[in-house]
């Protein structure tokens, strides 16, 4: 089973957009400290690139969640696989995701983390597939809006592969080769 990957967003465009987002975030959080939370594993690439370019103080933590449900469709609930190491109470929290699809994962996460009383809670995603949205989620920073296609690279996987591609590409399933 050979997968062909065609480039959707080249590396240079992603880097440029991350720099722009970091500038915007740095302006919005002027005089504050950002507690950046990356959602494993997909957001590792964007979270670290973003963190390097943010000019206000940044602390980092990571969390891993998985959706309950069967197969490829998300369900309404998420399970915490790895919780945060630190408390977020009274901190300015910025959640970083790789992609927002149905919105289930993030809307659940926002509710779950909101209970822990952060001072503020905002959301940043590299990619957004608005056509797929089922639940409404307010996203504060969006890298790119993309069409309803399955993408890999820059942290995103297909069966755990291709996360390390430096660009975002569309998977085309090959024919018997």
Contact between 99 and ligand IMP by CB under 6 A: the answer reads yes
Catalytic residue among 28, 85, 90, 101: 101
Residue 60 burial class via C-beta count within 10 angstroms: exposed 0-12, middle 13-18, buried 19 and up: middle
Q: Is 148 among the residues known to form the active site?
A: no
Segment lying near Mg ion (by CB under 5 A), choices 19-27, 40-48, 117-125, 136-144: 40-48
Segment lying near ligand IMP (by CB under 6 A), choices 5-13, 54-62, 103-111, 112-120: 103-111
* Residue placing its CB nearer to Mg ion in the complex, 25 or 127: 127
Contact between 104 and ligand IMP by CB under 6 A: the answer reads yes
Segment lying near ligand IMP (by CB under 6 A), choices 10-18, 26-34, 46-54, 93-101: 93-101
Contact between 42 and Mg ion by CB under 5 A: the answer reads yes
- Name the site residues for Mg ion (rule: CB under 5 A): 42
Write out the catalytic residue numbers.
101
């Amino acid at each position: 089973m050979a997968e062909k990957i065609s480039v959707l967003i080249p590396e240079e465009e992603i880097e440029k957009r991350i720099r722009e987002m970091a500038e915007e975030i740095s302006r919005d959080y002027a005089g504050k400290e950002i507690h950046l939370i990356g959602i494993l594993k997909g957001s590792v690439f964007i979270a670290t690139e973003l963190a390097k370019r943010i000019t206000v103080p940044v602390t980092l933590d990571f969390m891993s969640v998985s959706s309950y449900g069967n197969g490829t469709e998300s369900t309404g609930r998420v399970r915490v696989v790895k919780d945060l190491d630190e408390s977020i109470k009274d901190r300015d929290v910025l959640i970083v995701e790789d992609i927002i699809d149905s919105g289930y994962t993030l809307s659940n996460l926002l509710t779950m983390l909101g209970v822990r009383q952060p001072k503020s809670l905002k959301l940043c995603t590299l990619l957004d597939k608005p056509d797929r949205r089922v639940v409404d989620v307010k996203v504060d920073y969006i890298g790119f809006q993309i069409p309803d296609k399955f993408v890999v690279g820059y942290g995103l996987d297909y069966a755990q592969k291709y996360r390390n591609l430096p660009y975002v590409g569309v998977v085309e399933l090959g024919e018997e080769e």
